A and B are shown apart, each in its own frame.
Chain A
Amino acid sequence: MRPDLHDALRRLTARLAGPRPAAPIGREHQDRVVPLVPPGVWTEDDRLARLAAELESAGRTARADTAAGPDVAFAAGLRARLLDELAADGAVAAGSAAPSLTGSRATVEPMPGIGRPIVSTSWRGGPLLPSRRTIGVGLAAVLVVGLIGIATTRPSADAPTASVVAATAAYLERDGTEATLAEGGDLRAGDVVRVGPGGTATIAIDRGETRLAAGATLVVRALEPSLVDLEQLTGRVWHRVAVPGGATYRVTTAATAWSALGTAFDLAVDAEAITGVGIEGSVRVGGPDLATTLGAGRTIRLDRRSDGWSTAAATSDQLLDPWVRSNGTRDLALGFDIGILTALEPSPSTRPEPTVATEPTPTEPAPTSPAPEPSNASASPSPAPAAKPSPVVTPKPSPTPTLKPSPSPTLKPTPEPTPTPDRTLGELALALTACPGGTVLDWSAFGGEGFHHYAVVRGSSSFVAPEAYPPPAPLVTVDGTFTKDRTVTEAVDSGVAPGATAWYRALAFSIDDRVIAASPAQSATAKPTKSLGPLTAAAPGAGSVELGWVPFGGSAGCFSYYKVVWSTSTATPDYLGSHDGALPLAEQGAAGVALDGLASGGTWFRVQAIRATTLGKVVVAQTEVAFVEVP
């Protein structure tokens, strides 16, 4: 082979990006270098056509080899956000909440200046959640509640399973035949579960549970690796969602279109209305005439006759409802966060066994005391989950929110009006995720008029929403949360000392800096960046380094990807700071990587787990730095 050709080939193969390894080419393969066709047999056009066909085939192979389709969560989130914007312009809502996208696989490709990183693992349906999962605009006359699965990092190669955990007076209609719903049985697409009077049914869907109250009817539309699709026809169902990372959990009922951020919500469908109660996280709701977010402790009611809707803080009655409480207790026993119900958490001794939730009977006494009244999520963020319930007290729901102004007028006029937070403001939802290294702030988009920008304000204790910018001291605006894009609703705050509790409100401002919408105040305690321990390193050959580490074991909601960073000039390479190169790895379970094509010489390496939001990133965990003398 000509030396210059050989060099050219080496340059090219050094950059090979796809998972298909470059075929070795050297002198021993020279016999394969032959003319394309015998001279004189083909015309020029024939030869070019033949060559084009060969390239077509190579193109198909390359696309198949490197076909990492868009992450389903990213695709659905971007779609919803774009359609939201159109809907805000007055466009008629789109047809479905999300495209039927399946999981995807990413291929790590070379970095500039190095050869071909070899990654031992791949990810599927990764946990890289879009920050702007806004509403899924749905079919007219169809209400969809969608939830992007974030609670697990397990690859979603297999379809989620749905099995009957418990059933009483419940029936299964399959292939046109109805039979008693048997515990332990598996459900499949097309099945209809109906619960009779006095009955209940609990269906385990992947790691979550879907619990049907008496009178509920649920259709299993699809159980696919990327989509759990249910249709709630009637009755009340508790949705505790924990599906594989990247999968979508969607519930269709009637009326508008929704998608969700939370992982637990209660949804009741009757002839007159659909009522949702957010328990943990937040649920975005949208449709032709509807775009809002349902936060934990909030409720939304959609009138099926007038198509009108309204949101409000969940009342004490709703949160102390036996159905809600028993499901919260069950979720707690299963190890889930019970969000707004935390303040009502029963003491361990009073926790019932994790069995099927009780039928929602509003007049039935709760199994445990509800002593502390839930505070109005809008008016009072209720920072005190302190008081544990005493064992045997009849629920005494108070319809009066904690900070509700006194209804009885005083004879003595008050000279200065008392600030009444949220009284005239638009509503935003705010969900916090206290990740190591920073707290992720995820608020709902403001759909009203007069919007100019968002900012999130932080205080060391609960506070009322300020009236305008700047917020009064000691409140501060969280760095990086200012954005004029109403669809950008996620940021991260790394400015709080670990161990300190901070309170936040997301605010929407008008062009003259007046607050026009505010979220309830929410609190989170900052956590320190986690250590992943030592980074093991070996240099097996020229330009090659193999690294190993303990995977980040934290919540998938706190993980976007790893960055393997290195530097030849600084002993503390940092993805968010100084580094010479960085390699992304999307799989949270990744524990090692092999790099080759590195320049020889002393190099510092570190692996960092990153939580990325639209408005910023934070290092949630990192290994120690390893110094390697690259041969």
Chain B
Amino acid sequence: MVVPSSGSRMDPERERALVARSRSDASAFAELYDWYLPRIHGFVARRTGDHATAEDVTAMTFERALGAVRSERFRNEAFGPWLYRVAANALVDHVRRSRRTVPLLADAPGEEAAPGDERALAAFAAAVDRDAVRLALAELAEGHRRVLVLRFLDDLDPDEAAAVLGCSRSTFAVRLHRALRALRGALEKGATDAA
């Protein structure tokens, strides 16, 4: 079983060097692939209910990555965050193409969820020990929940999560703080109601 180590991100310097070498040295791209494959696959698989779909989307992500490497589009961009953003977009593309058969949960009320985010949240909530926290998660706005899932379930680096959300690192930090505060508020509100 290939499970990415918690909280790990490839050293940015090494990542940049590998990307720079990839076009002329396949082993450099191979190292990037070996590092990111289980991470991207996990990110995708947590949002799909179909093994084949997860593989399709993962393959699409890396094919796009290869295309970008071959065209040298990474001179000023970090590879990992870009890859997560591509994966998120690939999920959207896949759902648009085959909405009828792709088992993604995307019917959250209120703010529209990204494809599969509800599924990921459900898996996350199932792992939370305290009922109160699970209840509070259910009460959060979709935007808050998405931030928490990216950070705590997907274990994304702030740069990576920010790329998925299409915001800056500092904006993500603010959103994460707000999401935690919202969760904290929902917890307190629930406790008060229960009392």
Give chain A's interface residues, CB within 8 Å of chain B: 1-2, 5, 8-9, 11-13, 15-18, 20-23, 25, 29-30, 32-36, 44, 47-48, 51-52, 54-71, 74-75, 78-79, 82-83, 85-87, 89-96, 99, 101-106, 108-113, 126, 128, 130, 137, 560-561, 575, 579, 581-584, 586, 612
On whether the beta carbons of A8 and B122 are closer than 8 Å, the reply is no
On whether the beta carbons of A67 and B1 are closer than 8 Å, the reply is yes
On whether the beta carbons of A91 and B25 are closer than 8 Å, the reply is yes
Contacts of B22 in A (CB 8 A): 86, 91
On whether the beta carbons of B101 and A15 are closer than 8 Å, the reply is no
On whether the beta carbons of B52 and A109 are closer than 8 Å, the reply is no
Contacts of B62 in A (CB 8 A): 78, 82
Contacts of B177 in A (CB 8 A): 48
On whether the beta carbons of B125 and A16 are closer than 8 Å, the reply is yes
State A104–B191 Cα separation when bound (angstroms).
41
Given contacts A23-B131, A59-B153, A91-B23, contact A111 B103 (CB under 8 A): yes
Residue of A29, A34, A89, A586 near B23 (CB, 8 A) is A89
Contacts of B190 in A (CB 8 A): 5, 33
On whether the beta carbons of B119 and A62 are closer than 8 Å, the reply is no
Contacts of A64 in B (CB 8 A): 3
On whether the beta carbons of B135 and A92 are closer than 8 Å, the reply is no
Contacts of A583 in B (CB 8 A): 49, 103
Contact with A along B55-71 (1 / 0, CB 8 A): 10011001100100110
Contacts of B70 in A (CB 8 A): 85-86, 89
Contacts of B49 in A (CB 8 A): 17, 108-111, 583-584
Q: Which residue of A lies closest to B99 (CB)?
A: A112
Given contacts A69-B41, A90-B24, A92-B25, contact A63 B3 (CB under 8 A): yes
Of the A-B pairs whose beta carbons lie under 8 Å apart in the complex, a sample of 25, sorted by A's number, is A1-B194, A12-B138, A15-B105, A20-B126, A29-B131, A34-B132, A36-B187, A54-B128, A59-B153, A63-B6, A69-B1, A69-B42, A70-B2, A78-B33, A79-B33, A82-B63, A82-B66, A83-B30, A86-B66, A89-B70, A106-B51, A108-B49, A109-B103, A111-B49, A130-B55
On whether the beta carbons of A22 and B126 are closer than 8 Å, the reply is yes
On whether the beta carbons of A9 and B134 are closer than 8 Å, the reply is yes
On whether the beta carbons of A55 and B152 are closer than 8 Å, the reply is yes
| From B23, B122, B124, B180, residue with most partner A Cβ within 10 Å | B122
Nearest-neighbour CB distance to chain B for A574, whole angstroms, equals: 11
On whether the beta carbons of A59 and B103 are closer than 8 Å, the reply is no
Contacting residues of chain B (1-16) with chain A, CB-CB under 8 angstroms: 1-3, 6
Nearest-neighbour CB distance to chain A for B95, whole angstroms, equals: 11
Residue of B58, B126, B130 near A70 (CB, 8 A) is B58
On whether the beta carbons of A110 and B119 are closer than 8 Å, the reply is yes
On whether the beta carbons of A59 and B152 are closer than 8 Å, the reply is yes
Given contacts A48-B177, A70-B2, A137-B26, contact A584 B42 (CB under 8 A): no
Q: Is B139 an interface residue (CB 8 A)?
A: yes
Q: Is B85 an interface residue (CB 8 A)?
A: no
On whether the beta carbons of A25 and B134 are closer than 8 Å, the reply is yes
Given contacts A82-B29, A86-B70, contact A36 B42 (CB under 8 A): no
Contacts of A137 in B (CB 8 A): 26, 30
Contact with A along B38-53 (1 / 0, CB 8 A): 1001100110111110
Contacts of B42 in A (CB 8 A): 63, 67, 69
State A61–B130 Cα separation when bound (angstroms).
13
Give chain B's interface residues, CB within 8 Å of chain A: 1-3, 6, 22-27, 29-30, 33-34, 37-38, 41-42, 45-46, 48-52, 55, 58-59, 62-63, 66, 69-70, 101, 103-107, 118-135, 137-139, 148, 151-155, 177, 180-181, 183-184, 187-188, 190-191, 193-194
Residue of B30, B127, B191 near A20 (CB, 8 A) is B127
Nearest-neighbour CB distance to chain B for A81, whole angstroms, equals: 8
On whether the beta carbons of B50 and A69 are closer than 8 Å, the reply is no
Q: What is the predominant secondary structure among interface residues of chain B facing chain A?
A: helix
Q: Which residue of A lies closest to B186 (CB)?
A: A5
On whether the beta carbons of A99 and B34 are closer than 8 Å, the reply is yes
Residue of B37, B132, B191 near A79 (CB, 8 A) is B37
Residue of A12, A74, A75, A91 near B125 (CB, 8 A) is A12
State A91–B105 Cα separation when bound (angstroms).
41
On whether the beta carbons of A5 and B101 are closer than 8 Å, the reply is no
Contacts of A86 in B (CB 8 A): 22-23, 26, 29, 66, 69-70
State A75–B177 Cα separation when bound (angstroms).
36
State A82–B25 Cα separation when bound (angstroms).
12
On whether the beta carbons of A52 and B180 are closer than 8 Å, the reply is yes
Residue of A63, A92, A111, A130 near B155 (CB, 8 A) is A63
State A624–B139 Cα separation when bound (angstroms).
44
State A105–B128 Cα separation when bound (angstroms).
22
Contacts of B104 in A (CB 8 A): 112
On whether the beta carbons of A11 and B138 are closer than 8 Å, the reply is yes
Given contacts A36-B184, A67-B42, contact A15 B118 (CB under 8 A): yes
Contacts of A104 in B (CB 8 A): 1-2
State A96–B23 Cα separation when bound (angstroms).
17
State A19–B112 Cα separation when bound (angstroms).
26
Q: Which residue of B lies closest to A90 (CB)?
A: B24
State A612–B59 Cα separation when bound (angstroms).
15
On whether the beta carbons of A9 and B127 are closer than 8 Å, the reply is no
Contacts of A130 in B (CB 8 A): 55
On whether the beta carbons of B24 and A92 are closer than 8 Å, the reply is yes
Nearest-neighbour CB distance to chain B for A347, whole angstroms, equals: 44
On whether the beta carbons of A105 and B1 are closer than 8 Å, the reply is yes
On whether the beta carbons of A58 and B55 are closer than 8 Å, the reply is no
Residue of B26, B37, B194 near A91 (CB, 8 A) is B26
Can you add 15 more A-B contacts, CB < 8 Å, to A15-B105, A25-B134, A103-B1?
A12-B121, A16-B125, A23-B131, A25-B131, A29-B131, A36-B132, A51-B180, A60-B6, A86-B66, A91-B25, A99-B34, A101-B2, A110-B119, A112-B104, A584-B50
| From B34, B70, B104, residue with most partner A Cβ within 10 Å | B34
On whether the beta carbons of B105 and A110 are closer than 8 Å, the reply is yes
State A567–B6 Cα separation when bound (angstroms).
41
Contacts of B180 in A (CB 8 A): 48, 51-52
On whether the beta carbons of B138 and A9 are closer than 8 Å, the reply is yes
Given contacts A74-B55, A583-B103, contact A95 B127 (CB under 8 A): no
Contacts of A91 in B (CB 8 A): 22-26, 29
Contacts of B127 in A (CB 8 A): 18, 20, 58-59, 61-62, 65
State A87–B51 Cα separation when bound (angstroms).
29
State A34–B48 Cα separation when bound (angstroms).
34
Nearest-neighbour CB distance to chain A for B111, whole angstroms, equals: 15
Nearest-neighbour CB distance to chain B for A572, whole angstroms, equals: 16
On whether the beta carbons of B119 and A32 are closer than 8 Å, the reply is no
On whether the beta carbons of B30 and A5 are closer than 8 Å, the reply is no
Residue of B33, B52, B133 near A128 (CB, 8 A) is B52
On whether the beta carbons of A17 and B38 are closer than 8 Å, the reply is no
Contacts of B52 in A (CB 8 A): 128, 560-561, 584, 612
Residue of A15, A23, A71 near B55 (CB, 8 A) is A71
State A101–B29 Cα separation when bound (angstroms).
17
